[in-house]
Amino acid sequence: MMNFTNESNIGRSGLERINSGCKQLGNALLVTALALLLSILALPALHGQVPAPSQTDPVALTGGTIYTLTDGVIEDGTILFEDGKITAVGTGIDLPSGTKQVDVSGKYIYPGLIDSYSQMGLYEIGAVDMTLDINEQARINPNVRPEVAFNPESRHIGIARSGGVLITVTSPGGGLISGQSSAMMLDGWTWEEMLLKPGTGLIVNWPSPGDEDNYEDELRELRDAFADARAYRKAFRAVKEGEIRHLDYDARWNAMIPVLDGDVPVVVNANLLRQIQDAITWSEEEDVKLVILGGRDAPYVSNHLASKDIPVIVTTVLASPTRAWESYDSRYNLPARLHESGIRFAIAGAASAPYANRLPYEAGAAAAYGLDPAEALRAITLSPAEILGFSDRAGSLEVGKDATLLITDGNPMEYSTQIEQAYIEGRKIDMSDMHRQFYEKYREKVRQAETRR
Amino acid sequence: MKKLTLFVWLMVILPVAACGQTEPVQGLHESAPDVHAFTNATIVVAPGEVLENATLVIRGGVIENAGTNTEPPADARIWDMEGKTLYPGFIDAHSDAGMKDPRVELDRGDISWNPQLRAQLKANSEYDPEDDGSEQLRTQGFTTALSVPPLGIFRGQAAVMSLGNGSVSDRVIRPEIAQSVSLRRSPEFGFSYPTSPIGAIAFIRQTLHDADWYERAHSVYQSNPEGLKRPESNAALNALEEAVRGRQPVLFEVISEEEMMRSLRIADEFSITPWLRGSGHEYRILDVLSDRNLPLIVPLNFPDKPEVDSPEDALNQNLSILRHWYLAPENPARLAAAGIAFSLTADGLDNPSRFLLNLRKAVKLGLDPVTALAALTVNPAGMLGISDTHGTLERGKAANIIVADGDLFETDAKILDVWVDGDRFRVHEPLTNDPRGEWRMVSADRTVEATLVVKGQPERLEGTITINNQEVDLSSASVRDQARRFRADFPGEQLDINGLVRITASISGDELYGWAEASGMDRMEWYGERTAPAEADEREHPDITPREVQLTDIRPAMEYGREAPPEQPDHILVRNATIWTMGPDGILEDADLLVTRGEVVEVGHNVQAPAGTVEIDAHGKHVTPGLVDAHLHSGVDGVNEIGGAIVPEVRMGDVLNINNIWMYRQLAGGLTTAHVMHGSANPIGGQNQHLKMRWGHLSNDLKIEGAPRTVKFALGENVKRVGTDRYPETRMGTQQIMADHFRAARDYQTRWNEWEQYGQGIPPRKDLRMEALVDILEGDILIQAHSYRQDEILMLTRLAEEFDMQIKAFHHGVEAYKVAPELAEHGAGAVVWSDWSSFKIEAYDATLYNARLLSEAGVLTSLHSDNSQIASRMNWEAAKMVRAGMDKEDALALVTINTAKLLGIDDQVGSLEPGKDADFVIWNGDPLSTLTKAEQTWVDGRKYFDLEDDRELRNAVEQERSQLIQIILED
């Protein structure tokens, strides 16, 4: 039985591990031996992970505890996937002939984690401008798409996967309208193969209300942009209907048609009370689908958010309050307060690509401070997929969805848990990463030094 | 035209040209009578000493007599002071009078190498009489001021100046009475050493040593110069001799209570005589100040109302801001109530003409008016050494007098005149012929009769005129007192006169001789006779409502501040916990922890409790040592001294600041000890400070006694990219400048050894930078080196070995794992991030397995936060290492015992072993679980954080905030 919801159990299980000193030593030896073996096999090449081939045979993971997210927890269950899609989840499943069976007894199976706000693929080294493709020129860039700049060789991809993150919603930044985000699967030879869903949201950076006049000006700019886009759509439709012959192309307003049609939500980066309220009112006037990103002050206007059913993507739970008088844990318990108010929400990190592997800990902190751990898990799996419109493919372990999942020895939010294997669209992926490769390479150096002595 | 030019020329030049008593008279001698007798006055001779219906006589600028039976001398001009109050002229004990446009660049003569050192400047010599501010000060009653040079760190010598007429020469009362010092650099001199508060304090220390050395070196040289190298001549150091010998006070101008305490520490260290110009925050450290009888000068710089106009604005106002707004006006009263004597100053006010308003506010809020007067007269006179001549209206004192039309302290009485050295200055002239009152008007031909009523303030008259029972408001009314001219207009329509009627009159006592003009009507002469006098101006008490809300003193003066430090129970027994001792006993299940007076006494099973023990049942809970963060930058005023590549003389311990909400949050996350570090701008940076999270104590009490000194080194990108003209710009230069300075330090050591052995000639100069380098070389200061790449890490180990030194720990050490065997061999530890990566090129090869690989290679390894937020969850930082494959106990060691060892404080903290400090945390579960939080945090056997107390504190904070916001809105 998974003991994540039971604090005293988890304490004990942790201690069992600590107290079994002999086993520890054994483990250490094993690790050393393994490292040795690896060092002989893999050295000296340091490289990115090799993308896995498409799934050919049906695969069944058997005997594990399956966290379906939509249909509870299945003990000693089986999950079967074919051609990258889940075809069965449960117990007593008939396996088609040719099924490759993997015994995962004692292990846990979770949907791949989703980082719902990320710069993965666009960010390599912070202080080296040429490795960054995040902020485009000018302030209105609704036509900008991140997938075409997504670098499949980024080191941070493998590291995120080791943390259980298999999907990132990669998002451009900067300006007033930054561009559109896209959901990316973290395995593949090219960005094309990695693209899960383009256009998951139009990123808008809500202006800062610090200077009232400036705030008014920037809001006017935003409203004007939407008005122009709406006029463009009208003309565009008129061309389609044959009412007019021609419309000069405008990449920006053309890109906003699905937003105005309500097919793509507007993801508004808003943290302050005023920004959140003003954005809700604005979205109603514009009749667009709104998602609040950030949402630091969201609990102060929770009724407003709940009454309009506006979802929130909480960025950084592992953070301190911005105001000295706010309680030390007011960011940790923010998701719990949103949940109590009946607000739909996802938990993301601070977007920084190298730290996508911290995502489960962001959710874990929310669980430490009042959020039901099951809800915390949902906030990094199913909820982001629902909020950003790709829950037909990801976020839970259901028949028909992608076989994008994790095999672990515990809850992925718990620090002591190891993510042992991951599958993306049924492809068994290379679990190495640059962190491990550096470890393995320089563990060999230590070994050689010891040998010399 | 020519005449006018000459007149202007005289106006400007005359006061400057008339130079003291030595100047020959040009033209005729002017000898206006200078004997005055003020009769029928209320005379406040001195604070608390009031004569009613008395006479004051001044002669030649000096008080000749003051008393109730004093007869005005025959040659005196008589001033009837019926209804007036005379006060001694106020003394501003810290002023920029005459210093409004100071000389910035000193480019001649034997000046100091450092432009911030201007000790030789004298306020009396630098005094610029043009627009010197004395007129504005006089409107507030000031007749004397200490003029203080305003620029630099050592700013020069202050002079007591008269705020009267005449040349600067005539106005100097006492020159060179104190050296003005600031703990902050002046930006006017560019961005060079010292660039920071730490650097400024180090520079003050060095300069005081230099001044001491300068005097001794010159005295040796003068007694026998033969064969000696001539010591440098330095006007600034020369000027500091009196101060450094304790004979001339050092006047510290501070901007916070922390700076005030820093000034006192410097004064104690060098046995100099401190004077303090406060910041208005003194109410926060009454306990510190009441222990010492210090010359203290307090401003009335009450802050503006915090912005709470909209509820969203209010959301962003912190309690520290709201509290200070509320308490600053109580500062003088609170000082007085604590028995602390002080002087007041108008300095620090954006607009000095608010001084009296603020003074009255302070009086209304509890400052005794007699104390207030003393703070403006006898106290500053005593401090400035001018009591014989200033501060009271006694015989023989300078004729510095305030003439007011009532009580200046408790009513909004006006200052009419101030007299300075016997010269009169008009401040507020009352009307001699007051047009206010009721008048019967008659036209010369007696066809028109009217009643005129004039009221209001002299500068804003208003009134009515009634003709044929028809009353009309005057549309304007004014008076010119010297001309005795009254003018008014009123619309004629209602009186059947076309257009505007304009009247004018000469006021002659109770008669008006008038004239009028209106459209469609003949010009008309008229006469008026007063039928009712002007109503007397009531001196009103200032409109300040007495306070209902009394704020308690808390420390720090902000959110979650404490009224007193937590109790330290004699004995504490934590029972039935899972105790991570982090010592040889490992993890004990169902164990007890006994603490006696702040010290761990026993950890084990079935521990017996002495009588009176505070017992805590911790069944199901985990207890760990308080967490230790090896690398933090919060709670200090400034982190980097950028002004030099080698600055080990600067000390973080000089600039601790308790107004630091992070400390409370860090306690809430189980952190009890931190190593507060200098920044990374220098190959050899400043000295760091070990401190404990003793929330609620003074900054100096946070320091861990007995902890070794440590210094920050830095390598790589950060030291290269400071400025474009600072050496080094490469990792190559970094190595060279470090090696060079260690060699220079060896040479310095040799010079001193030789001098101590032979003791001949000029003594060597004490160089704090070199002293620190010597201490580093000798191993008395532990090296904590910021580093990223393996090449630079290896370079520094080899450099250290060349000088027989050991690097205690490499911090950050993003690539430390690449040279783990070399580190182990050198004996250096590693203090690394859990998972920071890729924020710059030298951080690109980061790995989550850094700490693990280092540990496996035998390197003593710790984690650090380098971040105020992360410092509040170091248990989770350690937990990440469990995912990287480390054993749980080894992981927790990264933030407890290993850290303590690398900081040289493992004899006190880092594990729960008998004899160590009782710093511990009670967690609600496994401290390395994502689901766990700290419930209680204890330091020295005192409970500084408790989850349940925290809930109450939150409510109290919210309540006090909303209460203060309401007060602001009502104000």
**Does one domain contain both B506 and B563?**
no
Taking the CA of residue B355 and the nearest CA in chain A, the distance in Å comes to 32
Q: Over the range B862-878, which residues count as b (16 or more CB within 10 Å of their CB) and which as e?
A: bbbbbbbbbbbbbbbbb
The CA-based angle A312-A317-A319, given to 5 degrees, is 130
- pLDDT tens figures, A139-166: 999 999 999 999 999 999 999 999 999 9
> B776 and B726 in one domain?
yes
Concatenate the DSSP letters of all residues of A43-64 into one string: TT---PPPPPPPP-S-EEEEEE
Between CA B179 and CA B400, with CA B378 as vertex, the angle to 5 degrees is: 95
CB B810 within 8 A of CB A332: no
The pLDDT value recorded for residue A23 is 42
**Predicted pLDDT of residue B517:** 87
Please provide the distance, in angstroms rounded to a whole number, between the alpha carbons at the two ends of chain A.
47
Q: Rounded CA gap, B121 and B230, in Å?
A: 24
Average pLDDT over residues B808-820: 98
Residues of the domain holding B40: 32-89+391-428
Helix (H) or strand (E) holding A166: strand A165-170
Pairing of strands B449-457, B460-467: antiparallel
Q: What share of chain A is helix, strand, coil (3-state, %, to 5)?
A: 40, 20, 40
DSSP code of A274? H
Among A13, A15, A17, A18, the residue to mutate for chain B (most B Cβ within 10 A)? A18
Look at B342 and B498; give whichever has higher pLDDT.
Answer: B342
Which residue in this structure is represented by tokens 């419309």? A247
Confidence of residue A33 (pLDDT cuts 50, 70, 90): low
Q: Are B312 and A329 an interchain contact pair (Cβ–Cβ within 8 Å)?
A: no
Are residues A91 and A74 in contact, defined by beta-carbon separation less than 8 angstroms? yes
Conformational region of residue A274, where left means phi above 0, alpha means psi within -120 to 50, and beta covers everything else: alpha
Residue contact A7–B818, C-beta within 8 A: no
Which run of H or of E encompasses A10? Answer: helix A7-19
Contact B882 A125 (CB under 8 A): no
> What is the spatial distance between Cα B251 and Cα B181, in angstroms, rounded to a whole number?
6
Q: Which residue of B has its CA nearest to A7?
A: B925
Check whether residue B520 and residue B378 sit in a common domain. Answer: no
Same domain, B841 and B959: no
Any domain includes B3: no
Distance CA B899, CA B96 (A): 50
- Is the pLDDT at A132 greater than 70? The verdict is yes
Which tens digit of pLDDT belongs to each residue from A357-398?
Answer: 999 999 999 999 999 999 999 999 999 999 999 999 999 999
Same domain assignment for residues B916 and B858: no
Q: CATH classification of A113-394 is 3.20.20.140, yes or no?
A: yes
Distance from chain centroid for Cα B842? 40
Average of per-residue pLDDT across B756-761: 89
Contacts of B924 in chain A (CB under 8 A): 7
3-state DSSP assignment of residue A131? helix
- Do B463 and B368 lie in a common domain? no
**Using the beta-carbon criterion (under 8 Å), do B926 and A10 form an inter-chain contact?**
yes
Do the beta carbons of residue B936 and residue B943 sit within 8 Å? yes
B820 touches chain A (CB under 8 A): yes
Predicted confidence band at B883 (pLDDT cuts at 50, 70, 90)?
A: very high
CB contact under 8 A, B887 and A18: yes
Q: How do B689-692 and B671-676 pair as beta strands?
A: antiparallel
Compare CB distances from B847 to A319, A415, A435 and report the shortest one's residue: A435
Domain boundary among B894, B909, B924: B909
Greatest CA separation for chain B: 119
Residues of B in contact with A354 (CB under 8 A): 837-839, 846
- Supply the pLDDT for residue A231: 98
**How many other CB atoms sit within 10 Å of the CB of residue B388?**
10
pLDDT of residue B99: 97
**Residue B22: what pLDDT?**
87
Count how many domains chain B has: 5
CATH code of residue B789: 3.20.20.140
Domain residue spans in chain A? 7-110+430-452, 113-394
Q: Could you tell me what percent of chain B has a pLDDT over 70?
A: 96
Measure in Å the smallest separation between the Cα of B883 and chain A Cα atoms.
Answer: 5
Mean pLDDT, range B410-420, rounded to an integer: 95
Secondary structure percentages of chain B, helix, strand, coil, to 5: 30, 30, 40
Q: Is the dihedral of CA B895, A35, A111, B838 positive or negative?
A: positive
Structural domain contains residue B108: no
Joined together, the tokens standing for residue B12 give 């400007």
Tell whether B174 and B284 lie within a shared domain.
Answer: yes
Separation between Cα atoms, residue A82 and residue B252, nearest integer Å: 79
DSSP B79-120: EE-TT-EEEEPEEEEEE-TT-SS------SSS--SSTTB-TT
Q: Does some domain include residue B766?
A: yes
What's the rounded Cα separation, in Å, for the pair B372 and B389? 20
pLDDT tens for each residue of A96-118: 999 999 999 999 999 999 999 99
pLDDT band of B947, cuts 50, 70, 90: very high
Q: What is the pLDDT of residue A79?
A: 98
Across the interface, of A320, A413, A436, the residue whose CB is closest to B930 is A413
Say if residue B915's pLDDT is above 90.
Answer: yes
Contacts of B846 in chain A (CB under 8 A): 354, 435
Secondary element (H or E) of residue B753: helix B731-758
Average model confidence (pLDDT) for chain B? 94
Of B786, B797, B790, residue with least CA distance to B827:
B797
Nearest Cα to A89, choosing from A117, A65, A124?
A: A65
**Residue A19: its pLDDT value, please?**
39
pLDDT digits (tens, 9 = 90+) for B515-530: 998 876 668 899 999 9
Q: Which of B930, B955, B964 to probe the A interface (max A CBs under 10 A)?
A: B930
Predicted pLDDT at B540: 67
Residue holding tokens 């990258």? Answer: A84
CA distance A368 to A114: 20
Predicted ipTM?
0.91
According to the model, what pLDDT value does residue B2 have? 45
Subunit contact A418:B883, Cβ cutoff 8 A: yes
Between A and B, how many residue pairs show a Cβ–Cβ distance under 8 A?
A: 178
Domain boundary among B875, B893, B909: B909
Q: Is A260 exposed, middle or buried (0-12, 13-18, 19+ CB in 10 A)?
A: buried
Q: How confident is the model at residue A27 (pLDDT cuts 50, 70, 90)?
A: low
What does the pLDDT look like over A395-443, one tens digit per residue? Answer: 999 999 999 999 999 999 999 999 999 999 999 999 999 999 999 999 9
pLDDT for position B523: 81
Write phi, then psi, for A339 (nearest 5 degrees). Answer: -65, -45
Kindly determine whether residue A442 and residue B929, on different chains, have CB atoms separated by under 8 Å.
no
| DSSP conformation letters of B319-351 | HHHHHHHHHGGGHHHHHHHTT---EEESTT-SS
Asked if residue B26 is part of any domain, the answer here is no
Q: What is the mean pLDDT of chain A?
A: 92
Check residue A9 and give its pLDDT.
36
Note whether B835 and B781 are within 8 A (CB): no
Pick from B458, B456, B414, B455: nearest CA to B432 = B458
- Calpha distance A414→A358 (Å, rounded): 11
Which residues touch B345 (CB under 8 Å, ≥6 apart)?
Answer: B92, B93, B94, B95, B277, B297, B298, B299, B300
Residue A12 has pLDDT above 50, yes or no: no
Taking the C-alpha atoms of residue B898 and residue B891, their distance in angstroms, rounded to an integer, is 10
The encoded tokens of residue B410 equal: 């408790």
CA of A272, closest CA in chain B: separation in Å? 9
H or E stretch covering A201: strand A195-205
d(CA B440, CA B637): 71
The dihedrals phi and psi of B479, each to the nearest 5 degrees, come to -135, 140
Tell me the pLDDT tens digit for each residue of A216-247: 999 999 999 999 999 999 999 999 999 999 99
Give how far the C-alpha of residue A3 lies from the chain's centroid of Cα atoms, to the nearest Å.
Answer: 24
The reply to whether A7-110+430-452 and A113-394 are identical in fold is no
Confidence of residue B496 (pLDDT cuts 50, 70, 90): confident
Q: How far apart are CA B99 and CA A340, in angstroms?
A: 62
Count helices and strands in chain A by DSSP H and E runs: 14, 16
- CATH classification of the domain holding B465: 2.40.128.20
Q: Which two tokens stand for residue A268?
A: 């508004």
B482 and B418, same structural domain? Answer: no
Q: Look up the CATH number of the domain holding residue B75.
A: 2.30.40.10
Residue of A11, A325, A416 with shortest CB distance to B883: A416
Give the gyration radius of chain A's Cα atoms: 24
Indicate the CATH number of A7-110+430-452 among 3.40.50.2300, 3.40.50.1820, 2.30.40.10, 3.40.50.920.
2.30.40.10
Mean pLDDT over residues B433-457, rounded? 91
Distance between CA atoms of B331 and B260, rounded to whole angstroms? 15
Distance from CA of A130 to the nearest CA of B (A): 12
Based on the domain organization, do B716 and B663 belong to the same domain?
yes
Is B150 in the same domain as B176? yes
**Of residues A329, A364, A434, nearest to B931 (C-beta):** A364
Check B883 against A415: CB less than 8 A apart.
yes
Grade residue B537 by pLDDT with cuts at 50, 70 and 90: low
- Chain A CB contacts of B930 under 8 Å are 360-361, 364-365, 367-368, 413-415
Q: How far apart are CA A280 and CA A288, in angstroms?
A: 10
- Residue B342 CA to residue B334 CA, distance in Å, equals 11
pLDDT tens-digit readout, B3-56: 444 444 444 434 433 456 888 888 998 888 899 999 999 999 999 999 999 999
Please tell me which residue of chain A has the smallest CA distance to B888.
A18
Give the number of other CB atoms < 10 A from CB of residue B472: 18
Same domain, B810 and B891: yes
pLDDT at A16: 39
- Work out the pLDDT band at B704, boundaries 50, 70, 90: very high
Pairing of strands A165-170, A177-185: antiparallel
Q: Which residues in chain B have their CB less than 8 angstroms from residue A361's CB?
A: 876, 880, 930
* B412, B493: one domain: no
Predicted local confidence at residue B545, as pLDDT: 66
Q: Hey, are the CB atoms on A125 and B925 less than 8 Å from each other? A: no
- In 3D space, the residue among A66, A68, A63 whose CA is nearest the CA of residue A106 turns out to be A63
Percent of chain A with pLDDT over 70: 90
How far is the C-alpha of B115 from the C-alpha of B504, rounded, in Å?
63
The pLDDT of residue B759 is 84
Q: Do A14 and B926 touch (CB under 8 A)?
A: yes
CA distance B921 to B624: 5
Residues of B in contact with A4 (CB under 8 A): 931
